Structure 1
Amino acid sequence: MVFQGGLPDNGEIINFEIEEEPKWVKVKLEDGSVIQIKMEIVAIMKGGNDPNTGLPIYMVQATNIIRMNQVPKELIKKNPAKEKGADGTLYR
């Protein structure tokens, strides 16, 4: 069986501490946009040992954080009809 998020329920959740803050990777796209991406570790689970080497098997649950750093003005498109819900709020 698998937990929501992809980790199996027969492993052992391992506590961890971040020794070095994750670095942002800056990516310049062909359209002129610049985005930054970094990975954040959510959970680590030990799932037994490799039968061939005996080494522990670790599963890492992570998520990517993406932020827009630069966007050319011509790529920004606003649609006023879709920006607000029927009641005038931003919620739909």
Structure 2
Amino acid sequence: MKYVLLGEDGASAEEKLSGYTGVVPWSYLRPHCQNGVLYFLDPALALTDVGAAIARNESTKVEAWLKSGDLVKLGEVHSVQWEKESPEFESLVVSPFVLCRPVAW
């Protein structure tokens, strides 16, 4: 019998994280925004790539995305807009952070 430690299955971080992505309504994301852990991604970035960089603690990459505006911490201004529109978001949880972007651009 072969035992494998959880997480050591040969899959990349991106492959593992793809299982934690999904489409959710704004109501699911609202509490994360209120807690200050919700981040919006530019459509040019893949959720799993950003999530993997966060999981690997690749601070240089994450800081570059934050500085360029490709990754933005969401606040009250965004929340007000989406309360009215109620869009759906593609989302990924990389605890303690939640990454998102609207499904329809």
The answer to whether TM tops 0.5 is no
Which structure has the larger Rg over C-alpha atoms? 1
The structure with more helix, counted as a fraction of residues: 2
Structure 1-normalised TM-score?
A: 0.24
The structure with more strand, counted as a fraction of residues: 1
